[in-house]
């Protein structure tokens, strides 16, 4: 700010003394340098410089005697805030004076009775700071660890080698988050290749996070080099910090409330976890085991037979963002095409790919999803019977007709609702049914034409003409439904005519 004021003072004097042509050049240079609007720059340069601002001495109404009396009253009131102390001062002064604990001058007493709550807080501010010190943010082990872990944004990756994973958790609580211990999915996504690993955890715990990361590191065919997490307390703790340090992992974190810093794993939360598991509620050991079985099969199917896009470049033109992607490839193909992957790793990937059957993997995924769907709502297998075990040839032949049945994933099928048997509208012919049922009971062979020409049923006919309802909406329930349906259809036809 001081530099800007000095610049305005120096350029302003030269601007006011310059000619009209020179003023234009000076104004252009000044506006470009300070990024001021042109009209604002003219007003700043043409205004006369102001001298130093004089500090006005404040007329203190409440002196040191009032402040000392406030301290005594504040301590006697157990250090209340200014607003509560202001309401207590009249009673407290009277009580302490009556018992001989406080003797005040009349002037000081009048000022105490008229002091405001803001003045009380201002007078006691120095006293509170000497006792409590400055107000500090609550700190702990998690805050200290969070400060020691560097922040990494989305644009800071800059094409890293395979092994740097973004880590996140997905809670299977069945909708809005509620209290309870639900199954969690620990998701790890490699930045370079898109290789994704998922681990089922029975709860949200730092020890389970370490165990899940250790399991993923043992299953990988390439070494894990780093872990980038969010600021969740399940990641920002001493257990995870020590594990990363012992294993030589580079631990980083995203910015708070910036989900785009973990765009790689956030995208996999929807395209892999939610696509496989759905949004059902899972809790308990049985659901954890079923989810683990699903992930054990799906990791091979996803990483070897599911191509995905990878962002190549992103340019912004105002509010429009233009993105360019690499051709879609599977994570396995990306690892095989990277030059910094060891040849032994590539050989293991090719050998594992050759031994995999995508149709069998998909069949096992459907079976695991069927078991998981049975546990989603009730926590037991009674919700949906397990899928019959078939051979691969039968499952392959069913794929050509699977589209006819709609959704094939058991975890995403819509549950059948209750049969609608109750009435939602008031029956407009409630007064007419007893008469018509009596006619049909006495003469079951009567036709609709004979009912219409009857003089005793003009009231039901008038109501029927006004309502213009379909017979299925007002058909009475009972043993005469079939007979009355024929008469009702005939009656409706005659009324339409």
Give CB contacts under 8 A, 24+ apart, made by 388-394. 390/363, 392/357, 392/359, 392/360, 392/363
* Secondary structure in 3-state letters for 284-321: CHHHHHHHHHHHHHHHHHHHHHCCECCEEEEEEECCEE
Contact status, residue 12 vs residue 49, Cβ threshold 8 Å: yes
Other CB atoms within a 10 A radius of the CB of residue 164 amount to 21
Location of structure tokens 């992957």: 341
Strands 311-317 and 320-325, bridge-based pairing: antiparallel
pLDDT of residue 480: 43
3-state secondary structure of 34: helix
Per-residue pLDDT tens digits of the chain, which is 497 residues long = 556 777 888 888 888 888 888 888 888 888 888 888 888 888 888 886 655 556 555 667 888 888 898 988 888 888 888 888 888 898 888 888 888 888 888 888 898 899 999 999 988 888 888 876 555 555 555 678 888 899 998 888 888 999 999 999 999 988 777 777 899 999 999 999 999 999 999 999 999 999 999 999 999 999 999 999 999 999 999 999 999 999 999 999 999 888 889 999 999 999 999 999 999 889 989 999 999 999 999 999 999 999 998 888 889 888 899 999 999 999 999 999 999 999 999 999 999 999 999 999 999 999 999 999 888 856 555 445 555 556 788 888 888 888 888 888 888 887 777 778 888 888 887 887 888 788 778 888 877 777 666 645 454 454 444 444 444 444 444 444 444 444 544 444 443 33
| Distance in angstroms (rounded) separating the CA atoms of residues 148 and 157 | 19
Contact status, residue 216 vs residue 188, Cβ threshold 8 Å: yes
pLDDT of residue 154: 81
Contact status, residue 374 vs residue 380, Cβ threshold 8 Å: yes
| Distance in angstroms (rounded) separating the CA atoms of residues 90 and 260 | 58
Q: Where are the beta strands (DSSP E) in 53-195?
A: 164-171, 184-190
Please return the burial class of 403, using the count of CB atoms within 10 Å of its CB with bins 0-12, 13-18 and 19+.
Answer: exposed
Contact status, residue 330 vs residue 308, Cβ threshold 8 Å: yes
pLDDT of residue 43: 87
Token pair listed for 449: 């034409």
| Distance in angstroms (rounded) separating the CA atoms of residues 94 and 72 | 14
Which residues, including other chains, have CB under 8 Å from residue 495's CB and lie 6 or more apart?
461, 464, 465
| Distance in angstroms (rounded) separating the CA atoms of residues 335 and 333 | 5
Token pair listed for 332: 């396995």
Strands 311-317 and 250-253, bridge-based pairing: unpaired
pLDDT of residue 250: 94
Question: CA torsion sign, 292 to 294 to 296 to 299?
Answer: negative
Token pair listed for 201: 């955890």
Task: State pTM to two decimals.
Answer: 0.60
pLDDT of residue 471: 45
pLDDT of residue 242: 93
Location of structure tokens 């992103």: 314
**Per DSSP, what are the bridge partners of residue 358?**
none
Contact status, residue 295 vs residue 200, Cβ threshold 8 Å: yes
Please return the burial class of 75, using the count of CB atoms within 10 Å of its CB with bins 0-12, 13-18 and 19+.
Answer: exposed
- Ordered DSSP codes for 233-290: TTTSSHHHHHHHHHHT-EEEEPPTT-GGGGHHHHHHIIIIIIHHH-S-B--SHHHHHH
Which residues, including other chains, have CB under 8 Å from residue 78's CB and lie 6 or more apart?
none
Contact status, residue 189 vs residue 224, Cβ threshold 8 Å: no
pLDDT of residue 55: 58
Token pair listed for 382: 């009674």
What is the Cα Rg of the chain in Å? 40
| Distance in angstroms (rounded) separating the CA atoms of residues 191 and 181 | 31
Contact status, residue 69 vs residue 105, Cβ threshold 8 Å: no
pLDDT of residue 177: 74
**Per DSSP, what are the bridge partners of residue 193?**
none
Which residues, including other chains, have CB under 8 Å from residue 239's CB and lie 6 or more apart?
206, 207, 209, 210
| Distance in angstroms (rounded) separating the CA atoms of residues 478 and 259 | 61
Token pair listed for 358: 């995508």
Q: Calculate the CA 77 to chain-centre distance.
A: 46
Which residues, including other chains, have CB under 8 Å from residue 140's CB and lie 6 or more apart?
none
Contact status, residue 348 vs residue 333, Cβ threshold 8 Å: no
| Distance in angstroms (rounded) separating the CA atoms of residues 104 and 81 | 22
| Distance in angstroms (rounded) separating the CA atoms of residues 140 and 31 | 48
pLDDT of residue 99: 85
Which residues, including other chains, have CB under 8 Å from residue 111's CB and lie 6 or more apart?
61, 62, 66
């Amino acid at each position: 700010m001081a530099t800007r004021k000095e610049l305005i003072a120096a350029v302003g004097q030269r601007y006011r003394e310059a000619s009209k042509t020179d003023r234009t050049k000076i104004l252009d240079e000044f506006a470009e340098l300070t990024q001021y609007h042109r009209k604002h720059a003219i007003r700043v340069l043409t205004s006369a410089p102001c001298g130093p601002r004089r500090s006005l001495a404040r007329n203190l109404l409440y002196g040191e005697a009032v402040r000392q009396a406030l301290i005594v009253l504040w301590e006697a009131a157990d250090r209340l805030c200014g607003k509560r102390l202001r309401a207590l001062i009249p009673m407290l002064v009277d009580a302490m004076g009556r018992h001989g604990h406080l003797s005040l001058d009349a002037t000081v007493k009048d000022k105490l009775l008229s002091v405001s709550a803001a003045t009380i807080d201002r007078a006691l501010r120095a006293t509170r700071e000497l006792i409590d010190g400055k107000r500090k943010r609550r700190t702990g082990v998690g805050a200290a660890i969070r400060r020691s872990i560097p922040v990494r944004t989305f644009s800071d990756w800059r094409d890293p080698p395979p092994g740097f994973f973004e880590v996140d958790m997905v809670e299977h609580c069945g909708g809005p988050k509620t209290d309870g211990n639900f199954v969690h999915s620990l998701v790890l996504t490699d930045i370079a290749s898109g290789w994704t690993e998922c681990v089922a955890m029975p709860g949200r715990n730092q020890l389970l996070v370490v165990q899940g990361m250790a399991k993923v590191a043992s299953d990988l065919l390439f070494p894990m080099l780093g872990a980038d997490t969010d600021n969740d307390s399940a990641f920002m703790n001493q257990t995870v910090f020590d594990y990363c340090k012992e294993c030589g992992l580079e631990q980083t974190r995203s910015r708070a409330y910036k989900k785009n810093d973990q765009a790689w794993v956030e995208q996999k939360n929807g395209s892999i976890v939610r696509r496989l598991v759905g949004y059902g509620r899972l809790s308990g050991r049985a659901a954890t085991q079923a989810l683990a079985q699903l992930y054990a099969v799906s990791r091979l199917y996803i990483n070897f037979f599911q191509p995905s896009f990878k962002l190549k470049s992103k340019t912004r033109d105002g509010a429009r963002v233009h993105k360019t992607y690499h051709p879609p490839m599977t994570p396995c193909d990306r690892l095989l095409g990277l030059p910094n992957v060891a040849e032994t790793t590539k050989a293991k990937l090719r050998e594992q790919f050759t031994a995999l059957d995508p149709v069998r993997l998909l069949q096992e995924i459907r079976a695991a999803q069927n078991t998981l769907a049975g546990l989603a709502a009730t926590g037991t297998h009674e919700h949906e019977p397990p899928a019959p075990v078939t051979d691969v040839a039968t499952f392959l032949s069913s794929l050509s007709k699977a589209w006819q049945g709609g959704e094939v994933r058991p975890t995403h099928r819509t549950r059948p609702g209750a049969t609608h048997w109750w009435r939602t509208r008031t029956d407009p012919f409630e007064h007419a049914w007893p008469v018509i049922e009596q006619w049909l009971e006495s003469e079951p062979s009567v036709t609709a034409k004979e009912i219409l020409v009857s003089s005793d049923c003009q009231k039901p006919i008038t109501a029927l003409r006004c309502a213009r309802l379909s017979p299925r909406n007002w058909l009475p329930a009972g043993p005469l439904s079939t007979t009355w349906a024929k008469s009702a259809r005939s009656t409706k036809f005659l009324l339409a005519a």
